[in-house]
Amino acid sequence: MTPTASIKAMQTAALFGINLDEDSTFRTEQTASLDNLHREIIPGSILHITGPSGAGKSTLLRGLTAQLRRDNTRIIDANRITLTDRPCVEHIPGPLPDTLASLAAAGLADARCFVRAPGSLSEGERLRLRMAIALHKARALEPHAVVIIIDEFAATLDRPTARGAARLLRRAIINATNTALITVTSHDDLDAPLCPDRWVHLSAISVQHRRPRRDTEATRSIITEEGCRDDYNALAHWHYRPGAPAAPVKTLRLRHATLNETIGVLVVAMPTLNARWRSIAWPGRYNTSDKRANAKRINNEIRRIARVIIDPRFRGLGLASRLVGAYLRNPLTPCTESAAVMGNCTNFFERAGMTAYHLPPTARQARMTDALEHAGVLPHDLASPRSAWAAATRSPANSNLINRELRRWANASRTDSRHADDDTEVLWKRACHSIAGVPVGYAFTSPNE
């Protein structure tokens, strides 16, 4: 009989035929089987606790947390992380490139998410933001051992989003040097993507130590195949660049066989005539004195990966690299290139086999930036074109300077020169989209060439 049973409890047990002696024995055995569980929670490991409501998950978590604290392990409760009404990039301190990389690693590789406040994010995006903050806090505590705990992990998310979050966490914990993870949930479908080192399933009558199943979603359910413009249109709103890519020639898509949905798309397009990394990637091939011959070779030998978009529910599976790699295995031309501002915080092009070229701002960008600074406008002010325009043209002298430099900026580019005679404020908005962001260039040469 349990020592804390009251007369009323005993009367209730007798009424329903509950044997309190057996219940006490079960609870004692259950506790004993988990006594040393906290010793298995070491950096780089994941403990996954599942079971229905009332099975004792939260009680076990509290006990484990208390034991870990007695061992001087630092605890970060992701559910207790406060999200303020500030943009996501303000929630992680440090240099901007490091902040963007932390957010991208947590599955928030979306330029719009970077600048939104948490209140405008989806529930899945808020979970990923908390994951990014927790992982950042854990890294800052090195060399101390840290355990991140997440109770009710992904409990209210749609299951593809939940599985995507689990894969991201697994990847982050494997790469951590001082961090372990405890997840608790009533769902029984996250073991495969999470791949825990220990999975404990609690029920009303037993403790089960289970082995995670193999994660086959990325290999069995997701198919790479030829796509079309409709596939791009279905996902275009997730990309940070407005407008469709110019001169597309091929589309690849990722189709989720179970859902029968397009969840990823890659668009290949004709190349531009000018790309600064070409002279480094293919020296002497496309920058000879014969401009007509250069243009002919570029159009015959190079294609450009113009867009790579992954449905946010499936970020963290390495699908962007998978799409790029699929194209590079059978490219349309001997040479492939791309350029992406997002390359400053993600490296999926490199993981697929392309070489990155981090180049300084162009001469026209640098000149326009100098003119703006003279007028009292810094590059980050361009995020709000209307306010920046008002500041840049506050005086007649500055207004004349900016107008003149905008025309010069436009005429220095074959793409923008046709807009050089546009209304100044229209041209200003166009310039604001490109002055501050310097893309990373990528190049790949087929091994058969």
Judging by DSSP bridges, how do beta strands 207-210 and 222-226 pair with one another? unpaired
Q: Please state, in angstroms and rounded to a whole number, the distance separating the CA atoms of residues 58 and 53.
A: 9
Claim to verify: residue 66 and residue 206 sit in the same structural domain: yes
* Domain presence at residue 441: no
Q: End of a domain among 176, 210, 244? A: 210
Question: Does residue 175 have a pLDDT over 80?
Answer: yes
169 band by pLDDT with thresholds 50, 70 and 90: very high
* Domain presence at residue 419: yes
- For position 29, what pLDDT does the model report? 46
Angle at 31 between CA 27 and CA 32, to 5 degrees: 115
Claim to verify: residue 69 and residue 200 sit in the same structural domain: yes
* Domain presence at residue 353: no
* Domain presence at residue 445: no
Claim to verify: residue 78 and residue 188 sit in the same structural domain: yes
* Domain presence at residue 145: yes
Q: Which residue has the higher pLDDT, 383 or 226?
A: 226
DSSP 2-23: -TT--HHHHHHHHHHT--HHHH
User: What CATH number is associated with residue 232?
Assistant: 3.40.630.30
In the three-class reduction of DSSP (H, G, I as helix; E, B as strand; rest coil), residue 445 is classed as strand
Question: Please, what sign has the CA dihedral across residues 66, 70, 73, 75?
Answer: positive
Number of domains in the chain: 4
Claim to verify: residue 288 and residue 303 sit in the same structural domain: yes
Among residues 437, 442, 444, 443, which one has the least CA distance to residue 100? 437
Calculate Rg over the CA atoms of the chain.
Answer: 28
Helices marked H in 286-395: 291-301, 319-329, 348-351, 363-374, 385-392
- Model confidence over 271-328: pLDDT tens digits? 988 888 999 999 999 989 998 999 999 999 999 999 999 998 888 778 999 999 999 9
Q: End of a domain among 210, 239, 268? A: 210
- For position 263, what pLDDT does the model report? 95
Claim to verify: residue 233 and residue 318 sit in the same structural domain: yes
Least confident of 85-99, 205-219, 309-323, 360-374: 205-219
Claim to verify: residue 304 and residue 411 sit in the same structural domain: no
Question: Does residue 28 have a pLDDT over 60?
Answer: no
Q: End of a domain among 210, 229, 245? A: 210
- For position 11, what pLDDT does the model report? 74
* Domain presence at residue 447: no
Q: Which residue has the higher pLDDT, 389 or 443?
A: 443
21 band by pLDDT with thresholds 50, 70 and 90: low
Q: Please state, in angstroms and rounded to a whole number, the distance separating the CA atoms of residues 435 and 305.
A: 22
* Domain enclosing residue 192, as ranges: 34-210
Question: Does residue 124 have a pLDDT over 50?
Answer: yes
Q: What is the pTM of this model?
A: 0.78
Q: Please state, in angstroms and rounded to a whole number, the distance separating the CA atoms of residues 336 and 345.
A: 21
Q: Please state, in angstroms and rounded to a whole number, the distance separating the CA atoms of residues 129 and 81.
A: 10
| Percent with pLDDT over 70 in the chain | 94
List residues bridging with 356 in a β-sheet: 442
User: What CATH number is associated with residue 79?
Assistant: 3.40.50.300
Question: Does residue 340 have a pLDDT over 50?
Answer: yes
* Domain presence at residue 444: no
Claim to verify: residue 281 and residue 388 sit in the same structural domain: no
Count other C-beta atoms under 10 Å from residue 83's C-beta: 15
Claim to verify: residue 4 and residue 38 sit in the same structural domain: no
414 band by pLDDT with thresholds 50, 70 and 90: confident
Count other C-beta atoms under 10 Å from residue 202's C-beta: 21
Mean pLDDT of 340-353: 88
Claim to verify: residue 51 and residue 24 sit in the same structural domain: no
Question: Please, what sign has the CA dihedral across residues 42, 43, 44, 48?
Answer: positive
- For position 22, what pLDDT does the model report? 56
Claim to verify: residue 87 and residue 165 sit in the same structural domain: yes
Claim to verify: residue 12 and residue 63 sit in the same structural domain: no
What is the overall mean pLDDT for the chain? 87
Claim to verify: residue 65 and residue 195 sit in the same structural domain: yes
379 band by pLDDT with thresholds 50, 70 and 90: confident
* Domain presence at residue 442: no
